[in-house]
Structure 1
Amino acid sequence: MITFARTDTSLVARWWWTVDRVTLLLILLLILAGIVLTMSASPAVANRIGAPTYHFVFRQAIFVIPAVIAMVGLSLLTPEQVRSVGAMGFGLFFVLLALVPIAGTEIKGARQWIGAGPIALQPSEFIRPFFCIVVAWALADARIRRNLMGYALTVVALLGVIGLIVMQPDFGMTMLVAGTWAVQVFVAGLPWLLVAIVLGGAVAGLAGGYLMLDHVASRIDRFLDPSTGDSYQITTSLSAIQNGGLIGRGPGEGLVKAVLPDAHTDFIFSVTAEEFGVLACLLMISAFAGIIIRGYMRMMQERDLFVVLAVSGLLGSFGLQAFINMGVAVHLMPTTGMTLPLISYGGSSLVATACGLGMTLALTRRRYVEGSGR
């Protein structure tokens, strides 16, 4: 067990006494749950593609190491350092995001990755937490200086990011980035005129996606009326959840992973429900809710507007992603291809989520809330 004396003034000791250790524990438990559920859901997928049985499990376990290092390392930063890292990270991954249509790797009809094999990165995953920091910085500056330039900069950043993501195409990620931005500008107190413009833009974007992107129109149509197309994935997901009951069929005894190609990513919540039951799902949801609620509770004691806006965005992005993934599994939303943060298989998703949570832990450390300045 890690222990430090209260009088210890080392960097690690001060971090230990000021970081939200309950949130840190919940994050680590979700990462561990992700390994267990990947071990349960992925062997059938690996066997279908001719890979070793635990191919995805080993890969996910390897990515846990840089994810935890990144999370803890970023949680050591001050708000000023978080701003600097956020700006640099946004610039780096915006460039990589712009390179995806040119030099990206195409998988299942979408060009979303840079590189190949074990070194492939999904820039759209990584840019989200840094986008939150840049938007928070610009909005805080706009409020303090009482000008619209900061608002305009956030709109430019938003349009640039979602424009590149739409080209991949990835409509689910586009809506997630736009939703995160909406959370931040709402917290910042957006003028009513701009609220109307934002809402109009959201409606126009949704209508445009429906009219111009066939796969988006198909998913929305199947969500509204399953008889209009192939609803096999959702039907199978709902059946698995029902079959799981309260305590599940037992580890490894589920059937959904053998018939759904994305059981270890998009529909890992269904695997959880079938093999471990509704109780396990409720525990998982409670862990997600605990992270978000504790973060917002600490944020509400904060006087630094940048910290308030950054935490709102980071936790908003984390919560929206989890809600979208689980909502798809229970047919509350159209299918989006969104992973369940910290749980689903995917190195980019795991490391990027850990980066966002690391910055959240840094910004909600008790020493900043109490204003000690150390």
Structure 2
Amino acid sequence: MSAIADRFGMAMERVRTYDRTLIVIALVLFAAGILFSMAASPAATARIRIEEAFYFAARQAAYAALGLLVMMSAAALEPKQVRRAGTILLALCLPLAALAALFGTEIKGAQRWFDFGLFSFQPSEILKPALIVVWAWMLSESMKQPKFPGRLVSLGLMALAAAALLAQPDVGQTALLLICLAPMLMLSGIALRYLLGGGALAALGAWAIYSFYPHARERVDTWLNPEGDAAYQVNRALDAIAAGGVFGRGPGEGVIKRSLPDAHADFVFAVAAEEFGLIASLGLIAVFFVLAFRGLSRASRLNDGFEQLAAAGLVTLLVAQAAIHIGVNLSLLPAKGMTLPFISFGGSSMIGSALAFGFCLSLLRDRPGAYLTPLRRNY
């Protein structure tokens, strides 16, 4: 019994080193995901003729429980173990993402998933946090040893990931990874001329995707000219957001969500806005804003280059993905099929987001010598 008590005491002491604000943010997002899934589930199940009205809500709750376990398991790792875990996951998920493009289940013209009957698996969701961890490792080594080709390795991995994702095709995830890589390269001290050159190549790549990917061209054209059947989802999402007003129609009282495809996934923000109003929408945006401010401010004061780059990249991943999802729902960006971390329905998305958040908790926890200046326990 004394040994068990000692282990429990050690576990509780470690939990106290995690940033409390980040823990609260994670719990709020887990709870919001279940709540908003309950709002979207009846409409989604009715549309695809599933008798159980809260089918998606029940599964989302199960995914949240699994995600919480994944997050706390990742948070229990030491920084060296985070690096090791990221490398292993990258070695597994990068080939799987490529195989998904060849042998995955096709859904709405894209092959991103492996269907195992009771559940499906999207390798790219796990690939994202793993890739950021490995990028941070490579770039930090370049900072220590100028002759080490860490930046070239990072760009090469980006090229491989982009090839696998664009073959599916998944333009949105490719763009998201580029959004994460760019600031990491800046933080690693890359010369401005290379950064500008990379920006020019990215612009050229965007033009090539628009020219040779009919699916991407259609979405951009629909965004620029939101008329006709192609713009139906976005227009209905805007109608739902407008109908919610300041305080919303009330839980379960949404009407427009019934005719909104993917209400439980790609357009869950619009469902939340219709039922819970502007206040809830701004509150959700504020949660991600606090995550960005808290995570990046703590990352900027870390001593170790790998820990700093990895934490900053993972926070950027979560916040940028949320910004893209909300931007699509508000018709500020072309439709991309991007999930809202912890909120949108999906097991792979939940596990990937939880893994990224758990890595952040591990890297940003209060450890002796981790920060440039000692942190107050309550900070």
Do both proteins adopt the same fold according to a TM-score greater than 0.5, normalized to the shorter chain? yes
Q: Distance in 2 between matches of 1:222 and 1:86?
A: 37
Q: Distance in 2 between matches of 1:69 and 1:155?
A: 32
How far has the Cα of 1:303 moved from its partner?
1.4
Residue 349 in 1 paired to residue 318 in 2? no
Partner of 1:311: 311
**Is the alpha carbon distance of 1:324 and 1:231 closer, same or farther for their aligned partners in structure 2, counting shifts above 3 Å?**
same
How far has the Cα of 1:362 moved from its partner?
0.3
Whether the aligned pair in 2 keeps the contact of 1:72 and 1:358 (CA below 8 Å) is yes
Partner of 1:22: 21
Structure 1 SS opposite 2:106? strand
Partner of 1:330: 330
Whether the aligned pair in 1 keeps the contact of 2:226 and 2:235 (CA below 8 Å) is no
Residue 49 in 1 paired to residue 48 in 2? yes
- TM-score (normalised: structure 1): 0.94
Partner of 1:151: 151
Q: Distance in 2 between matches of 1:47 and 1:338?
A: 23
Residue 221 in 1 paired to residue 252 in 2? no
**Is the alpha carbon distance of 1:241 and 1:9 closer, same or farther for their aligned partners in structure 2, counting shifts above 3 Å?**
closer
Amino acid at match of 2:61: A
1:230-276: per-residue Cα shift (whole Å, max 9, x none)? 32222211111111111001111112221111111111111111110
Gaps of 5+ in 1: none
Partner of 1:40: 39
How far has the Cα of 1:325 moved from its partner?
0.4
Which runs of structure 2 are paired with 1:195-214 in the superposition (5 Å)?
Answer: 195-214=195-214
Q: Distance in 2 between matches of 1:365 and 1:266?
A: 32
Which runs of structure 2 are paired with 1:162-173 in the superposition (5 Å)?
Answer: 162-173=162-173
Amino acid at match of 1:43: P
**Is the alpha carbon distance of 1:9 and 1:345 closer, same or farther for their aligned partners in structure 2, counting shifts above 3 Å?**
closer
How far has the Cα of 1:229 moved from its partner?
6.6
Which runs of structure 2 are paired with 1:80-159 in the superposition (5 Å)?
Answer: 80-147=80-147, 149-159=149-159
How far has the Cα of 1:95 moved from its partner?
2.2
Q: CA RMSD in A?
A: 1.8
- TM-score (normalised: structure 2): 0.93
Percent of aligned pairs sharing the same letter? 36
Residue 185 in 1 paired to residue 185 in 2? yes
Structure 2 SS opposite 1:106? strand
Q: Distance in 2 between matches of 1:233 and 1:307?
A: 40
Partner of 2:377: none
Amino acid at match of 1:112: R
Partner of 1:58: 58
Whether the aligned pair in 1 keeps the contact of 2:100 and 2:113 (CA below 8 Å) is yes
Whether the aligned pair in 2 keeps the contact of 1:27 and 1:291 (CA below 8 Å) is no
Which runs of structure 2 are paired with 1:257-272 in the superposition (5 Å)?
Answer: 257-272=257-272
How far has the Cα of 1:8 moved from its partner?
9.0
How far has the Cα of 1:305 moved from its partner?
0.7
Aligned residues: 367
Whether the aligned pair in 2 keeps the contact of 1:246 and 1:279 (CA below 8 Å) is yes
Q: Distance in 2 between matches of 1:11 and 1:94?
A: 36
How far has the Cα of 1:70 moved from its partner?
0.8
1:279-326: per-residue Cα shift (whole Å, max 9, x none)? 001111111111221111211211111111101110111111000000
Whether the aligned pair in 1 keeps the contact of 2:67 and 2:354 (CA below 8 Å) is yes
Whether the aligned pair in 2 keeps the contact of 1:114 and 1:121 (CA below 8 Å) is yes
Whether the aligned pair in 2 keeps the contact of 1:221 and 1:228 (CA below 8 Å) is no
Structure 1 runs (4+) greater than 3 angstroms displaced: 7-11, 368-372
1:314-347: per-residue Cα shift (whole Å, max 9, x none)? 0111111000000111111111110111101111
Which runs of structure 2 are paired with 1:69-80 in the superposition (5 Å)?
Answer: 69-80=69-80
Amino acid at match of 1:266: D
Whether the aligned pair in 2 keeps the contact of 1:8 and 1:14 (CA below 8 Å) is no
Amino acid at match of 1:212: F
Structure 2 SS opposite 1:113? strand
Partner of 1:283: 283
1:148-179: per-residue Cα shift (whole Å, max 9, x none)? 61111001100001110000011111111111
Whether the aligned pair in 1 keeps the contact of 2:291 and 2:319 (CA below 8 Å) is no
Q: Distance in 1 between matches of 2:75 and 2:196?
A: 37
